[in-house]
Structure 1
Amino acid sequence: MPTTKKTAVSLLSLAAPVVLLAAIGGVLSAKVGLFDDLKDGIDPSIRPPVTVTIAPRQMSYRAEGHFLKNGFAVDAPIVVAAIKQPLEIMKYQVTRDDYERCVADGGCQQPEGGHGAGLSGVPMTGVNYTDATDYAAWLTKKTGEVWRLPTDQQWAFAAGSKFPDDALGIDGTKDNPALRWLADYERESSRQRAKNPRPLPTGAFGENEYGVADLDGNVWEWTETCHRRVTIGDDGEVLKEAPACGIFVVNGKHRASMSFFIRDPKSGGCAVGVPPDNLGFRLVRDGRWYSGYLYAFERRLHGAG
Protein backbone atom coordinates (compact mmCIF):
# COMPACT_ATOMS: atom_id res chain seq x y z
CA MET A 1 0.00 0.00 0.00
CA PRO A 2 2.72 2.57 0.77
CA THR A 3 4.10 2.03 -2.74
CA THR A 4 0.68 2.69 -4.30
CA LYS A 5 0.27 5.88 -2.30
CA LYS A 6 3.73 7.09 -3.27
CA THR A 7 3.01 6.42 -6.95
CA ALA A 8 -0.27 8.32 -6.76
CA VAL A 9 1.44 11.29 -5.13
CA SER A 10 4.17 11.20 -7.75
CA LEU A 11 1.67 11.22 -10.62
CA LEU A 12 -0.20 14.08 -9.01
CA SER A 13 3.00 16.08 -8.65
CA LEU A 14 3.64 15.65 -12.36
CA ALA A 15 0.10 16.38 -13.49
CA ALA A 16 -0.45 19.49 -11.36
CA PRO A 17 2.15 21.70 -13.12
CA VAL A 18 0.82 20.68 -16.53
CA VAL A 19 -2.76 21.55 -15.58
CA LEU A 20 -1.59 24.82 -14.03
CA LEU A 21 0.42 25.82 -17.10
CA ALA A 22 -2.49 24.98 -19.38
CA ALA A 23 -4.83 27.09 -17.24
CA ILE A 24 -2.42 30.03 -17.17
CA GLY A 25 -1.85 29.67 -20.90
CA GLY A 26 -5.58 29.68 -21.52
CA VAL A 27 -6.10 32.83 -19.47
CA LEU A 28 -3.20 34.66 -21.13
CA SER A 29 -4.31 33.53 -24.56
CA ALA A 30 -7.77 34.90 -23.95
CA LYS A 31 -6.33 38.18 -22.62
CA VAL A 32 -4.19 38.87 -25.70
CA GLY A 33 -6.52 37.31 -28.25
CA LEU A 34 -4.01 34.61 -29.09
CA PHE A 35 -6.61 32.36 -30.69
CA ASP A 36 -8.34 35.00 -32.80
CA ASP A 37 -6.84 33.43 -35.93
CA LEU A 38 -8.51 30.13 -35.09
CA LYS A 39 -11.91 31.56 -34.16
CA ASP A 40 -12.71 34.68 -36.14
CA GLY A 41 -12.12 33.40 -39.66
CA ILE A 42 -13.99 30.07 -39.60
CA ASP A 43 -15.99 29.64 -42.78
CA PRO A 44 -18.53 26.78 -42.77
CA SER A 45 -18.53 26.77 -46.57
CA ILE A 46 -14.91 25.58 -46.63
CA ARG A 47 -14.99 21.86 -46.06
CA PRO A 48 -11.94 20.21 -44.49
CA PRO A 49 -10.05 18.04 -46.98
CA VAL A 50 -10.45 14.27 -47.18
CA THR A 51 -7.79 12.73 -44.96
CA VAL A 52 -6.28 9.36 -44.09
CA THR A 53 -5.29 8.55 -40.52
CA ILE A 54 -2.34 6.20 -40.18
CA ALA A 55 -1.83 4.31 -36.93
CA PRO A 56 1.46 4.63 -35.02
CA ARG A 57 4.20 2.17 -35.89
CA GLN A 58 7.95 1.76 -36.04
CA MET A 59 9.48 2.35 -39.43
CA SER A 60 12.88 2.41 -41.07
CA TYR A 61 13.77 4.71 -43.94
CA ARG A 62 16.78 6.35 -45.50
CA ALA A 63 17.63 9.64 -43.83
CA GLU A 64 17.52 12.89 -45.78
CA GLY A 65 20.64 14.88 -46.49
CA HIS A 66 23.97 14.97 -48.29
CA PHE A 67 26.22 12.65 -46.27
CA LEU A 68 30.01 12.70 -46.30
CA LYS A 69 32.55 10.36 -44.72
CA ASN A 70 36.27 11.06 -44.85
CA GLY A 71 35.51 13.82 -47.34
CA PHE A 72 33.66 11.56 -49.80
CA ALA A 73 29.94 11.32 -50.56
CA VAL A 74 28.22 8.22 -49.15
CA ASP A 75 24.70 6.84 -49.02
CA ALA A 76 22.58 8.26 -46.23
CA PRO A 77 22.09 5.76 -43.40
CA ILE A 78 18.92 3.82 -42.73
CA VAL A 79 17.33 5.20 -39.57
CA VAL A 80 14.63 3.72 -37.38
CA ALA A 81 11.87 5.93 -36.06
CA ALA A 82 9.08 5.07 -33.68
CA ILE A 83 6.05 7.15 -34.65
CA LYS A 84 4.07 7.37 -31.43
CA GLN A 85 1.03 9.38 -32.54
CA PRO A 86 -1.47 8.75 -35.38
CA LEU A 87 -0.78 10.83 -38.47
CA GLU A 88 -3.70 12.50 -40.26
CA ILE A 89 -2.69 13.47 -43.78
CA MET A 90 -4.59 14.61 -46.85
CA LYS A 91 -5.52 11.68 -49.07
CA TYR A 92 -4.92 13.78 -52.19
CA GLN A 93 -2.70 16.70 -53.04
CA VAL A 94 -4.22 20.17 -52.78
CA THR A 95 -6.15 20.71 -56.01
CA ARG A 96 -6.10 23.71 -58.27
CA ASP A 97 -9.76 24.37 -57.45
CA ASP A 98 -9.05 24.43 -53.71
CA TYR A 99 -6.00 26.63 -54.10
CA GLU A 100 -7.86 29.12 -56.28
CA ARG A 101 -10.46 29.54 -53.53
CA CYS A 102 -7.60 30.72 -51.34
CA VAL A 103 -6.48 33.12 -54.08
CA ALA A 104 -10.00 34.49 -54.49
CA ASP A 105 -10.21 35.02 -50.73
CA GLY A 106 -6.92 36.92 -50.66
CA GLY A 107 -5.04 34.31 -48.68
CA CYS A 108 -2.76 33.04 -51.47
CA GLN A 109 -0.87 34.43 -54.43
CA GLN A 110 -1.75 33.29 -57.93
CA PRO A 111 1.37 31.71 -59.44
CA GLU A 112 1.96 32.27 -63.12
CA GLY A 113 1.88 29.15 -65.27
CA GLY A 114 2.08 25.64 -63.94
CA HIS A 115 1.38 22.66 -66.16
CA GLY A 116 -2.18 22.35 -64.87
CA ALA A 117 -3.27 25.93 -65.57
CA GLY A 118 -6.90 26.03 -66.66
CA LEU A 119 -7.63 22.45 -65.60
CA SER A 120 -10.09 21.39 -62.91
CA GLY A 121 -9.79 18.43 -60.55
CA VAL A 122 -6.01 18.21 -60.85
CA PRO A 123 -3.30 18.89 -58.23
CA MET A 124 -2.18 22.47 -57.86
CA THR A 125 1.28 22.88 -59.36
CA GLY A 126 3.70 25.73 -59.93
CA VAL A 127 3.74 26.62 -56.24
CA ASN A 128 6.73 27.37 -54.06
CA TYR A 129 7.27 26.75 -50.35
CA THR A 130 5.76 30.10 -49.36
CA ASP A 131 2.66 29.48 -51.47
CA ALA A 132 2.16 26.13 -49.74
CA THR A 133 2.54 27.56 -46.23
CA ASP A 134 0.23 30.47 -47.10
CA TYR A 135 -2.43 27.96 -48.12
CA ALA A 136 -1.92 26.01 -44.89
CA ALA A 137 -2.42 29.23 -42.88
CA TRP A 138 -5.56 30.07 -44.86
CA LEU A 139 -7.04 26.59 -44.41
CA THR A 140 -6.24 26.75 -40.69
CA LYS A 141 -8.10 30.04 -40.39
CA LYS A 142 -11.10 28.83 -42.39
CA THR A 143 -11.53 25.52 -40.58
CA GLY A 144 -10.28 26.32 -37.08
CA GLU A 145 -8.01 23.27 -37.32
CA VAL A 146 -4.23 23.51 -37.55
CA TRP A 147 -2.84 22.40 -40.92
CA ARG A 148 0.85 22.18 -41.78
CA LEU A 149 3.21 20.83 -44.39
CA PRO A 150 4.47 17.39 -43.37
CA THR A 151 8.03 16.83 -42.30
CA ASP A 152 10.16 14.55 -44.43
CA GLN A 153 9.76 11.86 -41.77
CA GLN A 154 5.97 12.23 -41.75
CA TRP A 155 5.91 12.02 -45.54
CA ALA A 156 7.99 8.84 -45.43
CA PHE A 157 5.67 7.44 -42.76
CA ALA A 158 2.61 8.13 -44.90
CA ALA A 159 4.24 6.90 -48.11
CA GLY A 160 5.05 3.46 -46.66
CA SER A 161 6.14 1.09 -49.42
CA LYS A 162 6.05 3.92 -51.98
CA PHE A 163 8.79 5.88 -50.24
CA PRO A 164 11.79 6.00 -52.60
CA ASP A 165 15.21 4.69 -51.58
CA ASP A 166 17.81 6.80 -53.36
CA ALA A 167 20.84 4.77 -52.25
CA LEU A 168 23.45 4.06 -54.91
CA GLY A 169 25.09 1.19 -53.04
CA ILE A 170 28.51 2.63 -53.85
CA ASP A 171 30.33 4.94 -51.46
CA GLY A 172 33.07 7.30 -52.55
CA THR A 173 36.59 6.29 -51.50
CA LYS A 174 40.06 7.66 -52.05
CA ASP A 175 40.96 4.47 -53.97
CA ASN A 176 38.41 5.10 -56.70
CA PRO A 177 36.41 8.29 -56.14
CA ALA A 178 34.97 8.15 -59.66
CA LEU A 179 32.85 5.04 -59.03
CA ARG A 180 30.14 6.85 -57.12
CA TRP A 181 30.15 9.77 -59.54
CA LEU A 182 29.60 7.37 -62.46
CA ALA A 183 26.83 5.52 -60.63
CA ASP A 184 25.14 8.81 -59.82
CA TYR A 185 25.43 9.94 -63.44
CA GLU A 186 23.88 6.71 -64.70
CA ARG A 187 21.00 6.97 -62.23
CA GLU A 188 20.25 10.58 -63.08
CA SER A 189 20.44 9.82 -66.81
CA SER A 190 17.74 7.19 -66.34
CA ARG A 191 15.50 9.72 -64.57
CA GLN A 192 14.12 11.47 -67.57
CA ARG A 193 11.60 14.23 -67.16
CA ALA A 194 8.13 13.17 -68.25
CA LYS A 195 7.34 13.77 -71.92
CA ASN A 196 3.96 15.08 -70.82
CA PRO A 197 4.28 16.61 -67.32
CA ARG A 198 0.68 17.81 -67.25
CA PRO A 199 -0.94 16.85 -63.93
CA LEU A 200 -3.61 14.17 -64.11
CA PRO A 201 -6.87 14.13 -62.13
CA THR A 202 -6.47 13.26 -58.46
CA GLY A 203 -6.30 9.54 -57.84
CA ALA A 204 -4.88 8.77 -61.29
CA PHE A 205 -1.70 7.23 -59.84
CA GLY A 206 -3.43 4.95 -57.37
CA GLU A 207 -3.12 4.53 -53.61
CA ASN A 208 -0.61 2.96 -51.28
CA GLU A 209 -1.35 0.42 -48.56
CA TYR A 210 -2.68 3.16 -46.25
CA GLY A 211 -5.01 4.74 -48.79
CA VAL A 212 -2.83 7.78 -49.54
CA ALA A 213 -3.07 8.64 -53.25
CA ASP A 214 -0.68 9.82 -55.96
CA LEU A 215 2.55 9.57 -53.98
CA ASP A 216 4.61 8.51 -56.99
CA GLY A 217 2.93 10.52 -59.71
CA ASN A 218 4.39 13.47 -61.59
CA VAL A 219 3.84 15.99 -58.77
CA TRP A 220 6.52 16.33 -56.08
CA GLU A 221 5.40 17.62 -52.70
CA TRP A 222 6.93 20.25 -50.45
CA THR A 223 7.86 19.31 -46.88
CA GLU A 224 8.90 21.59 -44.04
CA THR A 225 12.23 19.77 -43.60
CA CYS A 226 15.39 21.72 -44.37
CA HIS A 227 18.05 20.13 -46.55
CA ARG A 228 21.29 19.42 -44.69
CA ARG A 229 24.92 18.47 -45.16
CA VAL A 230 26.06 15.82 -42.69
CA THR A 231 29.58 14.58 -41.91
CA ILE A 232 29.71 11.14 -40.30
CA GLY A 233 32.50 9.08 -38.79
CA ASP A 234 33.64 5.55 -39.62
CA ASP A 235 31.02 4.09 -37.27
CA GLY A 236 28.23 6.25 -38.68
CA GLU A 237 28.17 8.74 -35.82
CA VAL A 238 27.29 12.31 -36.79
CA LEU A 239 30.35 14.54 -36.50
CA LYS A 240 28.91 17.71 -38.00
CA GLU A 241 25.56 18.79 -39.40
CA ALA A 242 24.88 21.96 -41.36
CA PRO A 243 21.20 22.64 -42.17
CA ALA A 244 20.37 24.80 -45.17
CA CYS A 245 17.00 26.26 -44.28
CA GLY A 246 16.47 28.21 -47.47
CA ILE A 247 16.30 24.83 -49.22
CA PHE A 248 13.54 22.35 -48.45
CA VAL A 249 13.03 18.67 -49.17
CA VAL A 250 10.45 17.76 -51.79
CA ASN A 251 9.28 14.16 -52.17
CA GLY A 252 7.88 12.20 -55.07
CA LYS A 253 9.33 9.50 -57.33
CA HIS A 254 12.66 10.46 -55.79
CA ARG A 255 13.81 13.02 -53.25
CA ALA A 256 14.94 16.44 -54.35
CA SER A 257 15.86 19.65 -52.56
CA MET A 258 14.47 22.95 -53.81
CA SER A 259 15.06 26.59 -52.92
CA PHE A 260 11.98 27.95 -51.15
CA PHE A 261 11.13 30.50 -53.86
CA ILE A 262 11.19 28.07 -56.82
CA ARG A 263 7.85 27.41 -58.52
CA ASP A 264 9.08 25.86 -61.75
CA PRO A 265 11.74 23.19 -61.11
CA LYS A 266 13.19 23.44 -64.60
CA SER A 267 14.16 27.06 -63.89
CA GLY A 268 16.80 25.92 -61.41
CA GLY A 269 17.14 25.71 -57.65
CA CYS A 270 17.37 21.92 -57.42
CA ALA A 271 20.21 21.10 -55.05
CA VAL A 272 20.93 17.68 -56.53
CA GLY A 273 19.76 15.44 -59.31
CA VAL A 274 17.10 15.66 -62.00
CA PRO A 275 14.50 18.28 -61.04
CA PRO A 276 10.87 17.28 -60.41
CA ASP A 277 8.25 17.59 -63.13
CA ASN A 278 5.92 19.68 -60.95
CA LEU A 279 5.85 21.17 -57.47
CA GLY A 280 2.68 20.74 -55.41
CA PHE A 281 1.80 19.80 -51.84
CA ARG A 282 -0.50 18.11 -49.37
CA LEU A 283 -0.97 18.91 -45.70
CA VAL A 284 -1.20 17.14 -42.37
CA ARG A 285 -3.65 18.08 -39.64
CA ASP A 286 -1.88 18.84 -36.39
CA GLY A 287 -4.10 17.18 -33.80
CA ARG A 288 -1.84 17.68 -30.78
CA TRP A 289 -3.70 19.22 -27.84
CA TYR A 290 -1.34 22.19 -27.78
CA SER A 291 -1.25 22.74 -31.56
CA GLY A 292 -3.49 25.81 -31.26
CA TYR A 293 -1.11 27.42 -28.75
CA LEU A 294 1.89 26.59 -30.91
CA TYR A 295 0.27 27.87 -34.10
CA ALA A 296 -0.85 31.11 -32.48
CA PHE A 297 2.58 31.77 -30.95
CA GLU A 298 4.27 31.09 -34.30
CA ARG A 299 1.94 33.52 -36.06
CA ARG A 300 2.60 36.23 -33.47
CA LEU A 301 6.34 35.56 -33.56
CA HIS A 302 6.46 36.07 -37.32
CA GLY A 303 4.12 39.03 -37.24
CA ALA A 304 1.41 37.28 -39.23
CA GLY A 305 -2.19 38.29 -38.87
Structure 2
Amino acid sequence: MTEDRQKRYGSVCTGLVFALWVGLFAGNAFAQSQPDGTATAPLKPGTVFQDCPNCPELVVVPAGLFIMGSNGSRKTENPAHRVNITRPFAIGRFEVTFREWYACLKAKACSHAPDDHKWGRRGRPVINVTWDQAETYTSWLTEVTGHRYRLPSEAEWEYAHRAGTTTAFWWGEKAGENNANCKDCKTQWSAKSSAPVGSFKPNPFGLHDTTGNVFEWVADCWNPNHQGAPSTTEPRKDGDCKNRVIRGGSFYYFNKVAQASYRAKNPPGVKSYWLGFRVVREIP
Protein backbone atom coordinates (compact mmCIF):
# COMPACT_ATOMS: atom_id res chain seq x y z
CA MET A 1 0.00 0.00 0.00
CA THR A 2 1.33 3.43 -0.93
CA GLU A 3 1.83 6.28 1.50
CA ASP A 4 -1.08 8.10 -0.15
CA ARG A 5 -3.32 5.12 0.47
CA GLN A 6 -2.24 4.95 4.10
CA LYS A 7 -3.13 8.60 4.52
CA ARG A 8 -6.34 8.06 2.68
CA TYR A 9 -7.75 5.37 4.86
CA GLY A 10 -6.55 4.90 8.42
CA SER A 11 -7.18 1.65 10.22
CA VAL A 12 -9.54 3.36 12.64
CA CYS A 13 -11.67 4.72 9.80
CA THR A 14 -11.69 1.33 8.11
CA GLY A 15 -12.88 -0.38 11.27
CA LEU A 16 -15.54 2.26 11.84
CA VAL A 17 -16.97 1.99 8.33
CA PHE A 18 -16.87 -1.80 8.30
CA ALA A 19 -18.48 -2.16 11.72
CA LEU A 20 -21.28 0.22 10.81
CA TRP A 21 -21.87 -1.46 7.50
CA VAL A 22 -21.97 -4.95 9.00
CA GLY A 23 -24.31 -3.87 11.76
CA LEU A 24 -26.71 -2.13 9.42
CA PHE A 25 -26.51 -4.38 6.40
CA ALA A 26 -25.96 -7.85 7.91
CA GLY A 27 -28.05 -10.44 6.13
CA ASN A 28 -28.40 -8.20 3.07
CA ALA A 29 -25.01 -8.60 1.42
CA PHE A 30 -26.89 -9.29 -1.79
CA ALA A 31 -30.02 -7.30 -2.54
CA GLN A 32 -33.30 -9.13 -1.93
CA SER A 33 -36.26 -8.43 -4.19
CA GLN A 34 -39.79 -7.76 -3.05
CA PRO A 35 -41.97 -10.70 -4.17
CA ASP A 36 -44.15 -8.47 -6.37
CA GLY A 37 -41.47 -5.95 -7.33
CA THR A 38 -43.30 -3.05 -5.70
CA ALA A 39 -42.87 -1.12 -2.48
CA THR A 40 -45.73 -2.73 -0.54
CA ALA A 41 -43.64 -4.10 2.35
CA PRO A 42 -41.33 -2.22 4.75
CA LEU A 43 -38.30 -0.95 2.87
CA LYS A 44 -35.39 -2.50 4.71
CA PRO A 45 -31.75 -2.19 3.59
CA GLY A 46 -31.14 -4.53 0.69
CA THR A 47 -34.74 -4.48 -0.54
CA VAL A 48 -35.12 -4.16 -4.31
CA PHE A 49 -38.35 -2.61 -5.59
CA GLN A 50 -40.05 -0.49 -8.24
CA ASP A 51 -42.77 2.10 -7.72
CA CYS A 52 -44.27 1.46 -11.17
CA PRO A 53 -43.65 -0.96 -14.05
CA ASN A 54 -41.67 1.61 -16.05
CA CYS A 55 -39.91 3.13 -13.05
CA PRO A 56 -36.23 2.43 -12.36
CA GLU A 57 -35.48 -0.56 -10.17
CA LEU A 58 -34.26 0.65 -6.78
CA VAL A 59 -32.28 -0.83 -3.90
CA VAL A 60 -32.42 0.43 -0.32
CA VAL A 61 -29.07 1.33 1.22
CA PRO A 62 -28.64 1.65 5.00
CA ALA A 63 -27.80 4.61 7.18
CA GLY A 64 -24.20 4.79 8.39
CA LEU A 65 -20.93 6.69 8.44
CA PHE A 66 -18.20 6.68 5.83
CA ILE A 67 -15.03 8.47 4.82
CA MET A 68 -15.57 10.47 1.65
CA GLY A 69 -12.77 11.63 -0.63
CA SER A 70 -9.08 11.01 -0.11
CA ASN A 71 -5.87 12.61 1.11
CA GLY A 72 -4.02 11.46 -2.00
CA SER A 73 -2.33 13.37 -4.80
CA ARG A 74 -5.52 14.40 -6.63
CA LYS A 75 -6.34 17.67 -4.90
CA THR A 76 -9.95 17.66 -6.08
CA GLU A 77 -10.56 14.72 -3.73
CA ASN A 78 -9.01 16.37 -0.64
CA PRO A 79 -9.57 16.31 2.23
CA ALA A 80 -10.90 12.92 3.26
CA HIS A 81 -13.74 13.62 5.67
CA ARG A 82 -16.42 11.81 7.60
CA VAL A 83 -20.01 11.93 6.33
CA ASN A 84 -23.03 10.86 8.36
CA ILE A 85 -25.83 9.12 6.46
CA THR A 86 -28.62 9.62 8.98
CA ARG A 87 -31.32 7.56 7.30
CA PRO A 88 -31.69 4.88 4.62
CA PHE A 89 -32.47 5.90 1.06
CA ALA A 90 -33.24 4.08 -2.17
CA ILE A 91 -31.02 4.48 -5.22
CA GLY A 92 -31.14 3.13 -8.74
CA ARG A 93 -29.89 -0.42 -8.91
CA PHE A 94 -28.82 0.42 -12.45
CA GLU A 95 -28.28 3.56 -14.44
CA VAL A 96 -31.52 4.87 -15.93
CA THR A 97 -32.14 3.05 -19.21
CA PHE A 98 -33.47 4.16 -22.56
CA ARG A 99 -36.68 2.20 -21.91
CA GLU A 100 -37.26 4.04 -18.65
CA TRP A 101 -36.49 7.39 -20.24
CA TYR A 102 -38.90 6.76 -23.12
CA ALA A 103 -41.72 6.16 -20.65
CA CYS A 104 -41.28 9.81 -19.66
CA LEU A 105 -41.12 10.82 -23.31
CA LYS A 106 -44.31 8.89 -24.08
CA ALA A 107 -46.03 10.65 -21.18
CA LYS A 108 -44.91 13.97 -22.75
CA ALA A 109 -43.22 14.98 -19.51
CA CYS A 110 -39.81 14.66 -21.18
CA SER A 111 -39.36 16.28 -24.58
CA HIS A 112 -35.85 15.15 -25.53
CA ALA A 113 -35.34 11.93 -27.53
CA PRO A 114 -31.65 11.13 -26.91
CA ASP A 115 -29.39 9.63 -29.54
CA ASP A 116 -28.23 6.07 -28.78
CA HIS A 117 -25.00 6.56 -30.80
CA LYS A 118 -26.04 3.55 -32.93
CA TRP A 119 -25.32 1.15 -30.07
CA GLY A 120 -28.94 0.11 -29.63
CA ARG A 121 -31.27 0.87 -26.75
CA ARG A 122 -32.16 -2.55 -25.38
CA GLY A 123 -30.91 -2.62 -21.81
CA ARG A 124 -28.54 0.29 -22.37
CA PRO A 125 -28.14 3.25 -20.04
CA VAL A 126 -29.69 6.39 -21.45
CA ILE A 127 -27.01 8.79 -22.70
CA ASN A 128 -26.90 12.23 -24.28
CA VAL A 129 -29.09 13.84 -21.62
CA THR A 130 -28.23 17.06 -19.83
CA TRP A 131 -28.34 17.65 -16.08
CA ASP A 132 -31.47 19.75 -16.56
CA GLN A 133 -33.15 16.97 -18.55
CA ALA A 134 -32.26 14.44 -15.85
CA GLU A 135 -33.88 16.77 -13.32
CA THR A 136 -37.03 16.88 -15.45
CA TYR A 137 -37.12 13.08 -15.47
CA THR A 138 -36.88 12.86 -11.68
CA SER A 139 -39.67 15.43 -11.33
CA TRP A 140 -41.87 13.29 -13.57
CA LEU A 141 -41.19 10.21 -11.44
CA THR A 142 -42.15 12.19 -8.36
CA GLU A 143 -45.44 13.23 -9.95
CA VAL A 144 -46.26 9.74 -11.24
CA THR A 145 -45.44 7.84 -8.05
CA GLY A 146 -46.17 10.31 -5.26
CA HIS A 147 -42.68 9.68 -3.85
CA ARG A 148 -39.82 12.14 -4.04
CA TYR A 149 -37.27 11.26 -6.71
CA ARG A 150 -34.15 13.30 -7.42
CA LEU A 151 -30.54 13.06 -8.47
CA PRO A 152 -28.25 11.72 -5.74
CA SER A 153 -26.03 14.12 -3.88
CA GLU A 154 -22.33 13.57 -4.40
CA ALA A 155 -22.05 12.19 -0.85
CA GLU A 156 -24.95 9.77 -1.37
CA TRP A 157 -23.44 8.63 -4.65
CA GLU A 158 -20.01 7.91 -3.18
CA TYR A 159 -21.50 6.19 -0.13
CA ALA A 160 -23.66 3.92 -2.30
CA HIS A 161 -20.73 3.29 -4.64
CA ARG A 162 -18.30 2.35 -1.88
CA ALA A 163 -20.86 0.11 -0.13
CA GLY A 164 -18.77 -0.18 3.02
CA THR A 165 -15.43 -0.54 1.24
CA THR A 166 -12.42 1.76 1.47
CA THR A 167 -10.34 0.69 -1.54
CA ALA A 168 -9.79 2.43 -4.88
CA PHE A 169 -12.44 0.20 -6.43
CA TRP A 170 -15.12 -1.49 -4.37
CA TRP A 171 -13.58 -4.90 -5.16
CA GLY A 172 -9.97 -3.90 -4.37
CA GLU A 173 -7.06 -1.60 -5.12
CA LYS A 174 -6.58 -2.69 -8.75
CA ALA A 175 -9.08 -2.46 -11.59
CA GLY A 176 -8.24 -5.92 -12.88
CA GLU A 177 -10.01 -7.32 -15.92
CA ASN A 178 -13.70 -7.60 -16.75
CA ASN A 179 -14.88 -6.08 -13.47
CA ALA A 180 -16.30 -2.93 -15.06
CA ASN A 181 -16.53 -1.14 -18.41
CA CYS A 182 -13.65 1.33 -18.65
CA LYS A 183 -11.11 2.04 -21.38
CA ASP A 184 -8.40 -0.26 -20.03
CA CYS A 185 -10.61 -2.76 -18.16
CA LYS A 186 -10.38 -5.33 -20.99
CA THR A 187 -14.06 -5.99 -21.59
CA GLN A 188 -15.82 -6.48 -24.92
CA TRP A 189 -17.14 -2.90 -24.66
CA SER A 190 -14.02 -1.12 -23.38
CA ALA A 191 -13.22 2.09 -25.31
CA LYS A 192 -16.04 1.22 -27.74
CA SER A 193 -19.47 1.71 -26.18
CA SER A 194 -21.62 1.50 -23.10
CA ALA A 195 -22.56 -1.98 -21.90
CA PRO A 196 -26.10 -3.14 -21.15
CA VAL A 197 -26.82 -2.34 -17.52
CA GLY A 198 -26.07 -5.17 -15.11
CA SER A 199 -23.37 -6.72 -17.30
CA PHE A 200 -21.01 -6.85 -14.30
CA LYS A 201 -21.41 -8.11 -10.76
CA PRO A 202 -22.99 -5.75 -8.20
CA ASN A 203 -21.25 -4.09 -5.30
CA PRO A 204 -22.05 -5.20 -1.72
CA PHE A 205 -25.10 -2.90 -1.60
CA GLY A 206 -26.46 -4.47 -4.78
CA LEU A 207 -25.70 -1.61 -7.21
CA HIS A 208 -24.41 -2.27 -10.71
CA ASP A 209 -22.16 -0.13 -12.90
CA THR A 210 -21.20 2.58 -10.44
CA THR A 211 -17.68 1.93 -11.73
CA GLY A 212 -17.34 2.83 -15.40
CA ASN A 213 -19.92 2.29 -18.14
CA VAL A 214 -21.16 5.91 -18.24
CA PHE A 215 -20.42 8.88 -16.04
CA GLU A 216 -23.35 9.87 -13.83
CA TRP A 217 -24.76 13.30 -13.04
CA VAL A 218 -25.19 14.15 -9.37
CA ALA A 219 -26.97 17.10 -7.79
CA ASP A 220 -24.01 19.13 -6.51
CA CYS A 221 -22.52 22.33 -7.81
CA TRP A 222 -18.82 21.96 -8.58
CA ASN A 223 -16.22 22.81 -5.96
CA PRO A 224 -12.50 22.32 -6.62
CA ASN A 225 -12.13 20.14 -3.51
CA HIS A 226 -14.01 18.96 -0.41
CA GLN A 227 -12.92 21.89 1.74
CA GLY A 228 -16.01 23.15 3.55
CA ALA A 229 -18.13 20.19 2.45
CA PRO A 230 -21.00 19.27 4.77
CA SER A 231 -20.78 16.25 7.05
CA THR A 232 -24.26 15.21 5.86
CA THR A 233 -25.65 14.05 2.53
CA GLU A 234 -26.92 17.48 1.52
CA PRO A 235 -25.80 18.45 -1.99
CA ARG A 236 -23.43 21.40 -2.21
CA LYS A 237 -25.25 24.45 -3.54
CA ASP A 238 -22.26 26.73 -3.11
CA GLY A 239 -19.36 27.03 -5.51
CA ASP A 240 -19.53 26.98 -9.29
CA CYS A 241 -23.11 26.09 -10.20
CA LYS A 242 -22.35 26.66 -13.87
CA ASN A 243 -20.77 23.22 -13.58
CA ARG A 244 -22.24 20.11 -11.97
CA VAL A 245 -20.38 17.14 -10.52
CA ILE A 246 -20.21 13.88 -12.46
CA ARG A 247 -19.01 10.61 -10.94
CA GLY A 248 -18.08 7.04 -11.77
CA GLY A 249 -16.00 7.15 -14.94
CA SER A 250 -17.01 5.58 -18.24
CA PHE A 251 -16.08 3.14 -20.99
CA TYR A 252 -14.27 6.02 -22.73
CA TYR A 253 -11.84 6.82 -19.89
CA PHE A 254 -9.04 4.94 -18.14
CA ASN A 255 -9.69 3.14 -14.87
CA LYS A 256 -8.16 5.86 -12.67
CA VAL A 257 -11.15 8.03 -13.58
CA ALA A 258 -13.49 5.30 -12.30
CA GLN A 259 -11.95 5.12 -8.82
CA ALA A 260 -14.27 5.61 -5.86
CA SER A 261 -13.14 9.12 -4.94
CA TYR A 262 -12.53 10.53 -8.44
CA ARG A 263 -14.49 13.70 -9.23
CA ALA A 264 -15.16 15.54 -12.49
CA LYS A 265 -17.48 18.27 -13.75
CA ASN A 266 -19.60 19.27 -16.72
CA PRO A 267 -21.83 22.26 -17.50
CA PRO A 268 -25.47 21.27 -16.82
CA GLY A 269 -26.48 21.97 -20.42
CA VAL A 270 -23.92 19.58 -21.89
CA LYS A 271 -24.77 16.06 -23.04
CA SER A 272 -22.46 13.25 -24.14
CA TYR A 273 -22.42 9.64 -25.31
CA TRP A 274 -20.42 8.75 -22.17
CA LEU A 275 -22.74 10.45 -19.67
CA GLY A 276 -25.99 9.29 -18.02
CA PHE A 277 -27.42 9.17 -14.50
CA ARG A 278 -29.20 7.17 -11.82
CA VAL A 279 -31.87 8.32 -9.39
CA VAL A 280 -32.48 8.48 -5.67
CA ARG A 281 -35.90 7.91 -4.12
CA GLU A 282 -36.37 9.22 -0.61
CA ILE A 283 -37.79 6.92 2.06
CA PRO A 284 -40.20 8.63 4.49
TM-score (norm 2): 0.60
Alignment of 1:59 onto 2:55: no
Q: Structure 2 vs 1, CA of residues 82 and 132 (structure 1 numbering), >3 Å: closer, same or farther?
A: same
Q: Unpaired segments of 5 or more residues in structure 1?
A: 1-43, 68-72, 167-189, 234-240, 265-276, 289-305
Aligned to 1:134: 136
Q: Structure 2 vs 1, CA of residues 123 and 75 (structure 1 numbering), >3 Å: closer, same or farther?
A: closer
Q: Structure 2 vs 1, CA of residues 116 and 278 (structure 1 numbering), >3 Å: closer, same or farther?
A: farther
Aligned to 1:256: 264
Distance in 1 of aligned mates of 2:226 and 2:274: 31
Q: Structure 2 vs 1, CA of residues 232 and 223 (structure 1 numbering), >3 Å: closer, same or farther?
A: closer
Q: Structure 2 vs 1, CA of residues 202 and 143 (structure 1 numbering), >3 Å: closer, same or farther?
A: same
Q: Structure 2 vs 1, CA of residues 104 and 163 (structure 1 numbering), >3 Å: closer, same or farther?
A: farther
Distance in 1 of aligned mates of 2:109 and 2:224: 34
Identical amino acids, percent of aligned pairs: 26
Distance in 1 of aligned mates of 2:138 and 2:128: 16
Conservation of the 8 A alpha-carbon contact between 1:115 and 1:199: no
Tell me the secondary structure at the aligned position of residue 198 of structure 2. Answer: coil
Tell me the secondary structure at the aligned position of residue 245 of structure 1. Answer: strand
* Cα distance per residue 1:174-196 (max 9 Å; x no partner): xxxxxxxxxxxxxxxx9779864
Aligned to 1:300: none
Conservation of the 8 A alpha-carbon contact between 1:128 and 1:261: yes
Q: Structure 2 vs 1, CA of residues 74 and 256 (structure 1 numbering), >3 Å: closer, same or farther?
A: closer
Aligned to 2:279: 283
Q: CA deviation at 1:75?
A: 5.5
Q: CA deviation at 1:117?
A: 5.5
Alignment of 1:201 onto 2:196: yes
Aligned to 2:107: 105
Structure number with the higher helix fraction is 1
Distance in 1 of aligned mates of 2:145 and 2:201: 28
Q: Unpaired segments of 5 or more residues in structure 2?
A: 1-50, 170-181, 229-236, 249-257
Q: Structure 2 vs 1, CA of residues 163 and 102 (structure 1 numbering), >3 Å: closer, same or farther?
A: farther
Q: CA deviation at 1:99?
A: 0.3
Aligned residues: 197
TM-score (norm 1): 0.56
Distance in 2 of aligned mates of 1:191 and 1:163: 23
Aligned to 1:80: 82
Q: Partner letter of residue 246 of structure 1?
A: K
Distance in 2 of aligned mates of 1:131 and 1:164: 33
Distance in 2 of aligned mates of 1:116 and 1:84: 42
